[in-house]
Every structure is written in structure tokens, then in C-alpha cells.
Amino acid sequence: MANQTMMMIVTSNKDLIRQVSLSNASDTHIVNLDVFANHYTQSKSTQVSKKPTDCRCTICGDRASGFNYNALSCASCKIFFRRNIHQREKLKCLLGERQCLVSYGIRRRCPQCREERKQQRRKYFQETRKNDSVYLNQLNSTTIAILPDDDLVLTENLRSLFLLIFEKYDVQCACVDVSDRMSALISWSQFVSRVALKFIRLLRQIHQFEDLSEDDRFILVKYNVFSLCLMSKCFYYKPEDDCCSNDDCELSRRHRRFFMLCGDTFGIRDTFVDMVLLLVKVTEQDPVFLSLLSIMLLFTQGLSMNENEPTLNDSLAVNRAHCYYTALLWKYLVGKRDEIQARKQFIHLVTLIIRIQVAGKKIRDFFSEKMMTTDIMHRLAPLMQTLLHRS
């Protein structure tokens, strides 16, 4: 054994390989290196092919093709920017409010908002280069690590859209006019109509909502949007000098007088205030949380607890959208905190949704009855009559 010599021969001579293989020597082994070469080539090509999918367009969330016009963008956005580089002033917003959501699938809908999205991203990254803390303050670093790129772009868009729609909104207390019952009810209906229109404007930017039939969109708005109005009050709530605060301020006194004029003997105001405070505690007035929760509630069939609610034409699409935004909210909460805290928060959220469902029906039925007994239903806007299930 000590005098034996081990030898390794590397050759491409097929005749020699055949001769060695026919020798049938027990201590001779033939290794085909072509297998390893092919495996290496395939794995390398696989890695290369995956590289483009690792980055997402910061404008619409599609697969990025590179850094174009000072923004990480996809091929479609790159072409759009190139075509409009000298005519930005001519671009017009379709809704006229420059608040459109820009995401994959609906990015061509509004050219001005698409261009402004690029300008925002460019300015955003320039500020980030100057001071990294700007970026870290706006987006939790853990959330970035948890959420995929397309989900991250969507949550950023929802945050921006929610703030654009609600942050600059001139909020007035629901009980603007408390001189008498009729004036109080009419002013309340006008206030709720304005808030409902804000949520409808938000929902019109969600492609799952827009893809539904006109009848299904109408049913979801009629039976679910009323409950969403609690979200706006949660967002605007202040611990002091607020109509729902515990201190004896002017706004809280007017709020109590409003419900007194409406004949509140069932604790409707207490129910409303309790729901607002509970929402503030659970959501922490986070615009992403509130927007995702609002979309979840919109796509919740049977939220109104109205036995006359019609059956949707495409309930499967509604359920699919509900599940998608529920999962997105879960991932957002896990990234914002951790899985244990997110689980606790979700348990509170389930209880909260049930209470919103019950409270929404209680408040809607109360005001619907007061409108009928006061005989002012005909003076309400068509949207308010719809939300109160009277049309």
C-alpha cells in the first residue's frame, strides 16, 4: 500500500476515457466535469436573471429597469419621463386635485400625478443623501426589511394619499349649528357627507375597488362608508380642546348640546366617543394603519348588519381584496413592531371591528330615525340619504 501511487488525469481525449472505463479497475474512478460546468453555468444565469426583480420602481412599484432621470424606475416610467421632459407644464391631473394614487396597473391614469411622484422621489432621495435620519424618521427601517418592495411602495402611496386628502382638510365640529334640532341635524348631515366624499375619493384610487362593477361599488359605498367616518375623527382627535375630549372645553360642550338637541337618551354620544378613543389607542393615529383599516372595512361584506343589503355580483373579488389588505396590514404591523406585539394588536383589532360594526349600526339607525321624525330627509343631500339607507 505504501508503494502505490495515486494519479489524477484531466483529459478531453474520449478514446483514453473509453479505454480507462473498459479496464474495470476497482480503484479507478471517472468524474465527468461537464456536469459541474453545466450546473455552474445554469446557477450563474439564474442569479443574473433574478437581479432585475430585486429592485422595484419607486414611482409605480413595477420591476425596475435601472436608475433613470434621477429615480429608480421601470421601463414604462422611463419612457413616460423621456416623452414629457420638456412639457411638464402641459400635464393635467384628471381629478384636478393632484392626489391620484400612482401604482402598477393604474400608472397611466393621471400623467401629472405620475410626474409629480417622480419629483417627490427625486427630492426625497436628495434629502436622504444629506441627512440619513430624514429617511429613518419617515419609514421604520424594520418595516422596510419586512415588506416586499411592491408592498412598501403601496403603503408609502397610501400614506401620502391619506395625508393629502385628510391632513389639509378644514375640520369643523359636527355640531356647527346647535341653535335648534333641525339646524343641528342638517349641519351634521352636511359634515358627514363631506367626510364620506373624502373616503370615496380615497377608495377611487384603489384598483380593486375600481375593477368592481358599478352596482358592487354602489353597494359597498352605501352600506360600509358610514362606518369609515369614525376613522377621520380618530385621525383628527386631540387630547385637549376636542369635541370628544374629557375636558370641559367649548367644543365638547357644543358636542353634548348637539346630541341633547337630537334627543339622545340611548348614550349615542358616549358610544361615539368610546369608539373614537378606542381607535386612537389601537391605531395610534397612524395614517397607514387608518388607510389600510378603512380599505379592509370597505371590503367587509355584511359590515352594516343590514338584512336588506343586496348580494354582490362578484363577492369573490371583494373577499380577495379584503384578504389582501388584511395580510398587508399584518405585515405592516409585524415590521413596525414585532410578531408578538402585532398578534396582540390584531386581537384588539378584531374586537374593535366588531364594536365598529355594532356602533355604526346603532348611530346610523339613531340619526335615520331622527331625520324621519323631524321630516327633513328630503332636505338632505342624495349621498346622505344613501348612507342612512333611505334611498
Mapped to the 3 state alphabet, what secondary structure does 68-86 carry?
Answer: ECCEEECHHHHHHHHHCCC
- pLDDT tens profile 51-89: 334 467 777 777 777 666 666 778 888 888 878 777 777
More confidently predicted of 48 and 311: 311
Q: What is the pLDDT of residue 109?
A: 76
Q: Which residue has the cell 397610501?
A: 158
- pLDDT at residue 154 greater than cutoff 80: yes
Whether 107 and 62 share a structural domain: yes
Stretch 253-268: mean pLDDT, rounded?
87
Whether 172 and 111 share a structural domain: no
The domain that holds 353 is classified in CATH as: 1.10.565.10
**Which stretch of 49-53, 169-173, 260-264, 387-391 has the lowest confidence by average pLDDT?**
49-53
- pLDDT at residue 194 greater than cutoff 60: yes
More confidently predicted of 376 and 49: 376
Whether 237 and 356 share a structural domain: yes
Q: Which residue among 138, 156, 177 closes a domain? A: 138
More confidently predicted of 227 and 87: 227
**Which stretch of 24-38, 296-310, 316-330 has the lowest confidence by average pLDDT?**
24-38
Stretch 172-185: mean pLDDT, rounded?
74
pTM over 0.85: no
Most confident segment among 39-48, 112-121, 313-322, 382-391: 313-322
Q: Is residue 42 part of a domain?
A: no
Whether 304 and 349 share a structural domain: yes
Whether 278 and 131 share a structural domain: no
Q: Is residue 111 part of a domain?
A: yes
Q: Is residue 310 part of a domain?
A: yes
H or E segment and range at residue 115: helix 111-130
Q: Which residue has the cell 346610523?
A: 364
133-60-312 Cα angle (round to 5): 120
Q: Which residue among 85, 103, 138 closes a domain? A: 138
Query: What long-range pairs does 134-139 form, CB within 8 A, spacing at least 24?
Result: none
d(CA 185, CA 260): 11
Whether 251 and 117 share a structural domain: no
Stretch 277-294: mean pLDDT, rounded?
92
Strand partners, 56: 63
Query: Please, are residues 80 and 33 in contact by the beta-carbon 8 Å criterion?
Result: no
Query: Please, are residues 76 and 102 in contact by the beta-carbon 8 Å criterion?
Result: no
Q: Is residue 29 part of a domain?
A: no
Q: What is the pLDDT of residue 37?
A: 43
Whether 95 and 184 share a structural domain: no
Within 10 angstroms of residue 100's Cβ, the number of other Cβ atoms is 25
d(CA 189, CA 195): 10
Stretch 152-157: mean pLDDT, rounded?
83
- pLDDT at residue 239 greater than cutoff 70: yes
Mean of per-residue pLDDT scores for the chain: 77
Q: Is residue 15 part of a domain?
A: no
Whether 119 and 186 share a structural domain: no
Q: What is the residue-wise DSSP string for 199-243?
A: HHHHHTT-HHHHTS-HHHHHHHHHHHHHHHHHHHHHHH--SSSST
Q: Is residue 197 part of a domain?
A: yes
More confidently predicted of 292 and 126: 292
- pLDDT at residue 387 greater than cutoff 90: no
Q: Is residue 268 part of a domain?
A: yes
Amino acid occupying residue 150: D
- pLDDT tens profile 117-148: 777 766 655 554 454 444 444 444 445 445 67
| 323: containing domain | 164-387
C-alpha cell at 340: 408578538
Nearest partner of 383 among 213, 243, 228, 197, judged by Cα: 197
Percent of the chain with pLDDT over 70: 73
SS3 at position 68: strand
Q: What is the pLDDT of residue 337?
A: 78
Stretch 6-25: mean pLDDT, rounded?
63
The domain that holds 78 is classified in CATH as: 3.30.50.10
353-354-356 Cα angle (round to 5): 60
- pLDDT at residue 292 greater than cutoff 80: yes
Q: What is the pLDDT of residue 242?
A: 86
Whether 130 and 175 share a structural domain: no
Whether 169 and 315 share a structural domain: yes
Number of folded domains that form the chain: 2
Q: Is residue 27 part of a domain?
A: no
Whether 193 and 118 share a structural domain: no
Q: What is the pLDDT of residue 171?
A: 54
Whether 88 and 235 share a structural domain: no
Q: Which residue among 91, 120, 138 closes a domain? A: 138
- pLDDT at residue 273 greater than cutoff 60: yes
Q: What is the pLDDT of residue 132?
A: 41
